[in-house]
A and B are shown apart, each in its own frame.
Chain A
């Protein structure tokens, strides 16, 4: 008999609904696992046991009263600490918000409350979601459950590590340039970057508004689909929210991939800087999909080589504006004894922000400056248009595209911390989907020769989530169970 914390979200939901266990027992099992192991992992910045237990008790009471609840009622979740919960400390991994308690719930949090999902804690991240390793968190890095000396990826590394470590079967992250998919890949879990506008950004502390998107982490494709179903949908509080109804993502998962046209992105599969173990696992996955009846072809997407550069102009430009509000006037840290307002602003920001955030604010401020706008921000937006066109052309030939999620497996803590460019290259395969506002999913495709998980990335056009889940599910079934991280065994 498995421990409660080993079960999938779907299994837990099923058991709670059938009163084979209680939501309270499930939450307690996860909280006690967090208590014994999170000191080593540092997945959470703030634990919310009272909130989780209150939600669980409410679920149990409703079930006892014969109410029919959703499939995730009572299933614990780790929330990236960049989404607001009314009255709960929300830091965005930054010192500048060390004591910020928002006065309202993010729309996603409201939806999770409605779904009866107990939130067990606020998960660690790179400061303001800027980074690929969680090393930029002002509260120390999270550790990869596969090897505690290694990073879990980022920026949503805490959520990915929590799901991988068995602290919660579900996690919420945000993906601006790969911040869900890359940590999912490095931690051996499933991560989905939904179509831009599918999940409300209301109550999500903004990094780059035109790229940010909230999405699920889980250990199975089905769990990820169930979670996306719970959090997606139009929100009148977000002007960029898609007004369409949400299809049932967990339905039709079993339809298979027979005849599905899959385009392998040739520039990625054996590109420069791609670890051979990663290429090998991805090729094996392609063979499996081919064996399931998918039609495999190859495609080259030339504009994608400029995507990283364009991203590192657009995202910093937007962040330089989004982060202007952290000025010491109203939130979080305020420098003491400043002589005037300007000094207070400057010192609060100097003391409150970390190096990477400052670097991007400076980059973005420069890119938007008078006289430079056209050469930088303007040009980057043109590249964005080219990326969208390349995608559109690709989807004339293929239903979905395929490649690795990250060029490498999890790297050592400190290995790339002093080399921003090496760090930025982690996102080279994930960024195009953000620029295009499109959907993509990362799911485990086995371990590389270094014994660390490799992520397979499936990409689709905007609002192709159903198709991506179907393809991912088919592969997941063919692949069979993945090994558990060492943290499961040693505990």
Chain B
């Protein structure tokens, strides 16, 4: 047991899925040819001016409302000034001391307990372009030259900043998963971490339990998946623990997480921190969020994941874990409901989704909306197991093969002859063959050696290639041996 309490705060950046960029009409399509989704405004051409995207502000407001934030009636855009080659204006339009959404919270479930994490603020800003360093290694130092793609420049970003209320890497993971689920449910972002549409920075410090003051914090950058956040935090907590145990102090600094080594390394110290020279963006007017506008946006709030989970768990008698899984995203709920519509029992549907389907999706690196096994086909498989036409083991195998091949699971069952042998006469015949071939074991069983029964069951299963119903084999053997 560690003698320290861990204190974590997370800053999450989410790219919004608006049709046009934050301050201009350029489209936001991901993966387009470099520098084709641009205009004078997002290129920062001299003389161009930003005009805010109302849809993006409404998306932010939705996020704020979903996180129980107060929507500030008067909020401002500021300029955050620093030089960076892929930032066209060398300042980022962001929000500073007057963000749109403040003082919210997010409840997350950890080990069956609900924990409340405060949300300091959620605000609006614009994304930067991307540099591409051309050379053998792709690193800037060895590059022959660098190219910049401004397609991403000006894409609306929302930053959600938590209070330092998170106490462990697993809590951080749950927080991020819950936030992701909310964003998906709101339909405001694709939340694809691999495409960079959700990025996370973590602040972490240690302190003696009961100590009111915070320890020295370290900021970790470059966390591109929920798993990376947990890995980086685990590494960093360990590093800080060792430093404190050795009587050293933790240095306030920004550290970079290396995906390959799983380690963090120092990027810059507090002394080297940028002075962003924030000041109110004079090209924009304040955001005045009147009550009627807020109410209008609030009316668009859908059922949120937590409420939906509770409802689905109650309606279908699922465990909290199962309910969490089937409601992980709108697509997931859709899949679950489709399974039910096709007649699958809710519990079986949840077990299959959390088990075999999740495994297949992970292996293929796909999302549930890309599933190659349709709900209808999975429902038929579940029904076959239910009706004892296929054993559970065969069904699982058929499902994975089906996912890999693109056939339906029942086609695989048919093709590979995986149907369960439950025909009594067929089994009686096989049992008799096995008994005839194993006279010595039959004698020992009859003499009271009970463990031999298991051997005989095994011989029958082997002869049926595992396709006999275990119950039927058991009953038939006992009947023939009595």
* Residue ID in chain B nearest A84 by CB atoms: B47
Min CB distance B20 to A, Å, is 13
Hey, which chain B residues are within 8 Å of A368, CB to CB? 81, 277-279
Contacts of A317 in B (CB 8 A): 279
The stretch from B48-56, B393-401, B443-451 touching chain A is: B48-56
B46 adjacent to A369 (CB under 8 Å):
no
User: What's the count of A-B pairs with C-beta under 8 Å?
Assistant: 97
Provide the residues of chain B in CB contact with A204, threshold 8 Å.
47
Complex Cα–Cα for A234 and B88 (A): 27
Tell me whether A370 and B275 are in contact (CB under 8 A): yes
* Binary CB contact string for chain B from 43 to 85 against chain A (1 if under 8 A, 0 otherwise): 1111111111000000000000000000000000001010101
Q: Is residue A203 contacting chain B, with contact meaning CB distance below 8 A?
A: yes
Contact count band on A: 35 or more
Q: A210-B282, A239-B284 are in contact. Are A325 and B46 (CB under 8 A)?
A: yes
A31 to B321, CA, bound (A): 81
**Closest CB in chain A relative to B314 CB, distance in Å:** 48
B285 in contact (CB, < 8 A): yes
- With A and B bound together, what is the CA distance between A206 and B282 in angstroms? 11
Against B, the Cβ 8 Å flags (1 = close, 0 = not) of A8-38 are 0000000000000000000000000000000
A369-B47 in contact (CB<8A): no
Bound-state CA distance A369–B83 (Å) is: 15
The yes or no answer to B453 lying at the interface (CB within 8 A) is no
For the complex formed, measure the closest distance between the CB of A365 and the CB atoms of chain B, giving whole angstroms: 7
Stretch at the interface among A67-75, A244-252, A326-334: A326-334
Q: Are A365 and B277 in contact (CB under 8 A)?
A: yes
Q: Which of A97-105, A116-124, A391-399 contacts B (4 or more CB under 8 A)?
A: A97-105
Interface residue A202 (Cβ < 8 Å from any Cβ of B)? yes
Residues of A within 8 A of B88 (CB): 325, 330
Contacts of A236 in B (CB 8 A): 51
B433 CB, min distance to chain A CBs, angstroms: 80
Known: A239-B284, A368-B81. A100 touches B49 (CB 8 A): no
Task: Tell me if A239 and B47 are in contact (CB < 8 A).
Answer: no
Q: Are A321 and B45 within 8 A (Cβ)?
A: no
A254 CB within 8 Å of chain B: no
A341 contacts B by Cβ under 8 Å: yes
CB B81 to nearest CB in A, in angstroms, measures 5
| Given known contacts A104-B45, A318-B282, A327-B83, A238 and B89 CB-to-CB distance under 8 angstroms | no
Q: Chain A nearest CB: distance from B332 CB in Å?
A: 40
| Nearest A residue (CB) for B40 | A104
Report which residue of B46, B51, B279 has the largest number of chain A beta carbons within 10 angstroms of its beta carbon.
Answer: B46
Query: Using a CB-CB cutoff of 8 Å, which residues 27-52 of chain B contact chain A?
Result: 40, 43-52
Query: For residues 349 through 403 of chain A, which have their beta carbon under 8 Å from a beta carbon of chain B?
Result: 365, 368-370, 373, 377
Instruction: Please give 10 more A-B residue pairs, beta carbons under 8 A apart, in addition to A92-B46, A329-B85.
Output: A90-B47, A106-B47, A201-B49, A239-B52, A239-B283, A317-B279, A318-B282, A345-B83, A368-B277, A377-B279
Task: Report, nearest first, the 5 A-B pairs whose CB atoms are least far apart.
Answer: A324-B90, A210-B282, A209-B282, A368-B277, A203-B47
**Residues of chain B having any CB pair with chain A under 8 Å:** 40, 43-52, 79, 81, 83, 85, 88-91, 140, 148, 275, 277-279, 282-285
6 residue pairs of the A-B complex, CB under 8 angstroms, read A84-B47, A104-B48, A203-B48, A326-B46, A369-B275, A373-B277
